[in-house]
Chain A
Amino acid sequence: MKRLLALGLAFGLVVAGCGGAGLPGGGGGLKVGMVTDIGQLEDKSFNEFSWKGVQDGASAVGGSAKNIVTKDIADYKQNIQSFVDQKYDIIVTVGFLIGTDTLAAAKANPSIQFFGIDQFICVAKDASDKECKGDVPANYQGLIFNEAQAGYLAGIVAGTITKSNKIGAVGGRSDVPPVVSYIKGYENAAKTVKPGVQVLINYVEDFNAPDKGEASAKTMIGQGADVIFQVAGLTGAGALRAACNAKIWGIGVDVDQYLSLPDSKACIVTSAEKHLQNAARDAIKRFKDKGKQTGNYVNDATNGGVGASPIRNLNPVPAGLEDKLKQATADMASGKLKPVP
């Protein structure tokens, strides 16, 4: 009898599961779905700020937003397809790794608008084409960022706060153009703000080796550098750790790493930031106002797409630093200032 009861309980649960219909999606308006990069939603990094932007964008156009968090690379296709099956109007995907699947989904579903955050869309015209001359689907837009401008702002900070007149930058790979742009902008700004400053640059040629990043940063610190800018993913996390251990300043990249890398928050002054939230929000608004979006859309100083994260840990903030950043942003927006001439 008791066993029967137990069975009943188990089956009751299953039946309850079969019962109730799914809750309806949000009211009218555009339905915006976001598929995250691998990890979690509240990552204080790409997923979290992209999602904030998608929510902002959806509410700005009177629509609704939902997300699916990806836990495994094998789930990308299915997660995108789930939004397609639910007849979503806009699907936003996060990170370069999901780009291949996003491109395929965009080709298969021309009536749905796709946005790829941090995805440079490259469609080859034929097998010999190495310069992306092919046509991007009319319903797929990559949201990319002007890294040189963000790097320039980081360079202003570094040039202003260095006391030893030596600053460093640790790069992931020298054959990845965004990394080089960040560092070029950084170097040029530092030399403009403080003529005669020496910029030590090292490309570790690896994005996933914190120990190499740490070693590289230590070498620079040994040579007298007192600010280290990292553009090297996990390798860079090692570089920031070295900076913290040596009690000098570190500068983060892509997102506000003061928030995303709590281990190094004590020494991060600022980060060369891609404003993911703005980029995602504005993309949704563009679609609402102008219809289908295609190609690669550059987020830069003109549209608030890049910037320097809030200055942290400096007390007081050096006189005029905030003004210099504002001025440089305005000048880059107007075209007067070219971060990489």
Chain B
Amino acid sequence: MIRLRGVARRIWRVASIPLLAIALAFVVAAVVIVVSSAFTSTGFDLFLPIGAYSSLLAGAFGSGNGITNTLVAAAPLIFGGLAVGLGFKGGLFNIGVAGQFLVGAFAAAVVGSALAGAPTAVGATLAMFAGALGGAAFGFIPGFLKARTGAHEVVTTIMLNNAAVLLLTWAVNDLVRAPGFSFPRTGDIGNSALPILLGRNLHLGIPLAVATAFAVRWLLDRTTIGFEIRTVGQNPNAARYAGMRPVVMTALTMTLSGLLGGVAGAIQMLGVIGFYAPGITASVGFDSIAVALLGRSDPIGILFAAVLFGAFRAGAPLMQIETSVPIEVIDIIQALVILFLAADLIVRRVFRLRAAKAGITELKTVTQSWAGGAGPAAGQGS
């Protein structure tokens, strides 16, 4: 009993701020829903948030299909969240998951459609590898630039996001356009689609995502590389003094981060979308940053955060059908969660918590990054 209490206390200590931030976000979004209801055809409705949130919940968890939809939406967010989280651990802010996601999705689509007739074991596996490789390559570029020249990864990854969109649009238009469609797109992936394990759409990517979360945790906590990534993230100078090579670790961390982002795109391509076309939006890329922050960069925390964000996406259609509350409310809730996480003083004031015992360190990475903190190559500490 006492042990149980100890565990609960420990969980509360790590998770209190994120959980309360979520609760507060729902409350504030409820106010937005009520106020905006006055401007719709249905008219002012004080109880609309209850209807909207219950539809959201029913859509996400109220049925077998709802739950699988939630998990399907969570899978790429787990990979994306791990990508951003791993970067945070290494002191890097990878905003480039959107681009790495697209490159991974595109590579998987091209290889997948080329092997559309091959057995699934071959096609899906090779397409996954292609996605991982594409993402890793696209993560290596900003990693290399940072390690070699000190070019800030926030700037380079944002620019590479745009580069990815334009590059892939050109590639689909002029290199791999499939015949027989009125608009540019790649061919069907056919047999290369990830096998469905359960129900309508629960694909292999979901157990893979969960396994990867544990693998990343193992990498960070139990291996030399993980230790070096974390040490470099916390203090590149100390790391160098200890005989590590921050420059190499920076490039490696970004490459691994990009690899995870690429796999996020690949499983989304092979598990859900099925073809690449210009105009594909990578909302996963930016939601991943929020997932990593909410999960406090901890792989297990990221699992939970991704399921929450997946639930938003899976529940949103029912919310729109049953209550006509616009899907933008989801964006508002997600944004508020991040706002309250960043300004945790608000949360602590509202809920009268004493000063947080453990600060949210990954947010420090964010602020450092935005402040233009020097890279390890520049040889300055922070």
Contacts and interface: CB of A to CB of B under 8 A. Distances in A.
Contacts, number: 126
B182 A41 contact: no
Contact of B327 (A71, A176, A206, A207): A71
B277 interface: yes
A41 B326 contact: yes
A323 interface: no
Q: Secondary structure at chain B's binding surface: helix, strand, loop or mixed?
A: helix
B281 A17 contact: no
Contacts of B283: 71-72
Interface residues of A, number: 47
B357 interface: no
Interface stretch (A78-86, A159-167, A285-293): A78-86
A21 B282 CA distance: 33
A22 interface: yes
B169 A66 contact: no
B313 interface: yes
B281 A38 contact: yes
A72 B269 CA distance: 12
Interface string A274-292: 0000000000000000000
A74 B272 contact: yes
B69 interface: yes
Nearest to B63: A85
Interface string B344-363: 00000001110000000000
B20 A10 contact: yes
B54 A13 contact: no
Contacts of A79: 317
Contacts of B23: 9-10, 13
B321 A86 contact: yes
Contact of B65 (A38, A41, A85, A97): A85
Contact of B320 (A17, A69, A130): A69
A130 B352 contact: no
A39 to B, nearest CB: 9
A66 B321 contact: yes
A120 interface: yes
A45 interface: no
A206 B177 CA distance: 13
24 contacts: A10-B19, A16-B50, A16-B54, A17-B50, A17-B53, A18-B54, A20-B50, A21-B54, A22-B322, A23-B322, A25-B321, A38-B281, A66-B324, A69-B328, A74-B73, A74-B76, A74-B272, A75-B313, A78-B69, A78-B72, A81-B65, A86-B321, A130-B180, A208-B278
Interface of B: 19-20, 23, 26-27, 47, 50-51, 53-59, 65, 69, 72-73, 76, 166, 169, 173, 179-183, 200-201, 268, 272-275, 277-284, 313-314, 316-318, 320-324, 326-328, 351-353
